[in-house]
Chain A
Amino acid sequence: MMGMILQTCVLLFWVDLGLSVTHPGKGGDGCGFIITSQWVDLVKVVVNLTKSGFHRDLVYIVQFGAPFPEDLQVLLLQNITRGVYMDFYQLQSLRKDTGLHVLLDSEVDLEAPAYESPGFTALVYPRPNPTNLGHLTTTVPIHGRYHRPSDPGTREKVAIKHPKLLLKSDTCEHGKPLLSSLPHKIVYAPCSVDNVSICSWIEVENLQVPQSMALDLPVGDKSLIFTVCGGTLFITILCNLILTATIWKHAIFEFS
């Protein structure tokens, strides 16, 4: 399973085509819908970081303020820094329970500290919100990693970058691309969680980027290193001596 994910997601790569095609209006080779700057101005990608501590939720809300094709599909590319991780197996379980659709581009170590972990990219496929038409939402759990001990009172801020918004429309495939009148990039990425063959997506740029978010994680106090080592060794040796004396006192040494 992991192998499959690696094979498919490693294929994710960027191709910068700049201003590739523009086909204003309906008909022609296009699918009949053009991404314009006015349309983009009304698109919002809101990301909220909920809960506290090491186990948090990233709540994504994609809002389209203007009409869009019915079969428009959305992919959020979320770069994850080394300070946090997503648990592939938790995502699998949530996929069954809540229909969460997320792919990871590499195998993620669930136990390593931040300084021994590489970052990775998550491909989040938000789904329509049945209670709010025109909105797509999804909630993805992330977890903080342990960080290098630091000076007293210091905490580690792990910034969560804003995701990139990619769009595609099935009816716009095979030479009939979803069009943009703006400078844009074509990104090749898995079509969906269920269909991991590669599709071409349009990255919507110039989105309004809200304030960045960060996890604020506690770290060990390195100034205490000798106190902690001394205290730990003192107590363990003391307990060892007490137990040794007790065992010796009540021992039943029979060897023949």
Chain B
Amino acid sequence: MWFAGNKGSLYFRKGSSTMGLLVHKALSQLMRTHVLLSFALVMRLLLVGFGIYQDRTMTVKYTDIDYHVFTDASRYVTQGESPYNRSTYRYTPLLAWILTPNIYLTFVFGKLLFVACDVLTGLLIQRLLLLRGLSAESSCLYSALWLLNPLPAGVSSRGNAESLLAALVLGTLLCLERRWLFSGAVLYGLAVHMKIYPVTYALPIALYLQTREQGAGTPGGKRSWTLWGFVRRVLNRDLLMFAFISGGLFCGLTLVFYHIYGWDFLHETYLYHLTRRDIRHNFSPYFYMLYLTAEREWSLVLGLASFLPQVSLLLLSSLAFHTDLSLCCFLNTAIFVTFNKVCTSQYFLWYLCLLPLVIPHLTLSLKKGVGVLALWFAAQALWLAPAYYLEFEGQDTFVLIWLAGLLFLIINTYIMVTIISHYRRIAIPNRPKTD
């Protein structure tokens, strides 16, 4: 049986049977980076192939509905029209542009791109873990939590674009850890352009850069608590460069697409997500409240008030954990998703891709770790059951869905509390200098 030791090392319980040794040898081989990546890629390509077969032969389709939305939007682009002619296309035009080979070359181009980004995400996780002081074997083991995980493999091979974001976010983190600030800023600017949620990393990144500039914790480091000292620390060269490049890229892309597609672009890509009030059932604890109050005069106030728990926690978490950027980004994403007014299952991938960076530093026993994971799945199952009866059987299960949503919030809170309180802080070795 496999388990992770306190230092993130991998052990094999000595059963000394031949079968055990063979399994050990096979898994040791698998835990080599290139073998693991190849295995993960082949697994995903097989799923893409199976998807083509299922789509052709079965009533229930494998391909995600969003993939058809992307492809339709790309088709409009190839015809010289706006991708927003496709209703429910609420992404950057860049995605529709990137996916034009779906029209010109092959329908599966986008899936192959998402699968490649998915595997790249696993590689980035492994590289980040190495930088965080894990051994080669352990970093492979923990990146396998992503690479061999059927959830992200299924999502990317079905044609969902979340892996693009995962690769951009992890690429940003890796560049920041390596002090490749220019590349990090470009990736971060792109990430925020593609989806809004990475904007919650802006404050931790800013604080991280100013902390690093001053060489925190060094014996000779002088602390200056004057206003001038604070301003000097915050407005350091690294931060200004990072902000200028990432902000410039974000604003530049926004201006270009606004010029081409006008108000539709701003509304569908950004404003819709900010003002979104989806009254249909979803994982958010706020769903039933927003449905019942949708036409009340004070619903707007209630909607704005529901931002408060989210914003206050994001602020506190950023201030508290910015020195460990991976942990901070994981927590900020989990907080953002858990307390959001709309939450669907694809949002879970936003923080799941950061989880392998956090797990090696947890002092949880394997039993408790598995227990927490089981709790998370159980909470989803408890929500899915009444949601199914509402949607497909027409039964009035609104109250049950609402209660299950609240329970999911409580369980997510419990998991975040468990992670924070069992997190063993690490000293990242050999921090390189800025590029």
Contact = CB atoms under 8 A, between A and B. Distances in A.
Contacts of B406: 231-232, 235
Contacts of B397: 218
Given A113-B279, A243-B313, A248 B320 contact: yes
Nearest to A235: B406
B417 A246 contact: yes
Contacts of A254: 211, 216-217, 323
A110 to B, nearest CB: 6
The CB with the most chain B CB atoms within 10 A, among A146, A233, A247, is that of A247
Secondary structure of the B contact surface, majority rule: helix
Interface residues of A, number: 56
Interface stretch (B184-192, B255-263, B419-427): B419-427
A235 B285 contact: yes
Interface string B402-420: 1000100110010011001
A131 B281 CA distance: 41
A212 interface: no
Given A54-B394, A155-B396, A242 B413 contact: yes
Contacts of B286: 232, 236
A253 B292 contact: no
B413 A252 contact: no
A51 to B, nearest CB: 8
Interface in B319-338: 319-321, 323-324, 331, 335
Nearest to A90: B65
A89 interface: yes
Contact of B417 (A2, A54, A243): A243
A146 to B, nearest CB: 6
Interface stretch (B44-52, B139-147, B385-393): B385-393
Interface residues of B, number: 70
Contact of B285 (A1, A3, A148, A232): A232
Nearest to B280: A146
Nearest to B87: A110
A144 to B, nearest CB: 8
B316 A247 contact: yes
Nearest to B55: A97
A236 B409 contact: yes
Contacts of B30: none
Interface in A190-217: 215-217
Interface string B279-293: 110000110110111
B316 A248 contact: yes
B22 interface: no
A255 B211 contact: yes
Given A3-B85, A232-B286, A235-B285, A250 B233 contact: no
B309 interface: yes
A220 B291 contact: yes
A228 B288 contact: yes
B291 A239 contact: no
Contact of B88 (A111, A216, A219): A111
A229 interface: yes
B425 A252 contact: yes
Contacts of A95: none
A53 B398 contact: no
Nearest to B289: A232
A89 B425 contact: no
Contact of B320 (A115, A215, A235, A253): A253
Contacts of B211: 254-256
Interface in B295-322: 295-296, 302, 305-306, 309, 312-313, 316-317, 319-321
A244 B291 contact: no
Contacts of B390: 53-54, 218
Interface in B330-349: 331, 335, 339
B29 interface: no
Interface in B74-98: 85-88
B224 interface: yes
A110 B88 contact: yes
Contacts of B87: 2, 88-89, 107, 109-110
Given A251-B319, A254-B217, A236 B233 contact: no
A240 to B, nearest CB: 4
Nearest to B234: A255
Given A53-B394, A220-B398, A243 B292 contact: no
B38 interface: no
Contacts of A229: 289, 292-293, 302
The CB with the most chain B CB atoms within 10 A, among A54, A220, A222, is that of A220
A42 interface: no
Contacts of A55: 391-392
Contacts of B394: 52-54, 144, 215-218
Contacts of B230: 255
Interface in A47-72: 51-55
Contact of A218 (B302, B339, B396, B402): B396
Given A53-B390, A247-B313, A113 B294 contact: yes
Nearest to A93: B68
A213 B293 CA distance: 30
A243 B315 CA distance: 12
A203 to B, nearest CB: 31
B292 A224 contact: yes
A11 interface: no
B279 A146 contact: yes
A232 B299 CA distance: 14
Nearest to B390: A218
B391 A240 contact: no
A239 B221 CA distance: 38
Contacts of B305: 233
Top 3 A-B pairs, shortest CB-CB distance: A251-B320, A218-B396, A240-B309
Given A221-B292, A255-B207, 11 more contacts: A2-B85, A52-B393, A53-B390, A220-B288, A221-B398, A229-B302, A239-B309, A239-B413, A240-B309, A247-B317, A252-B324
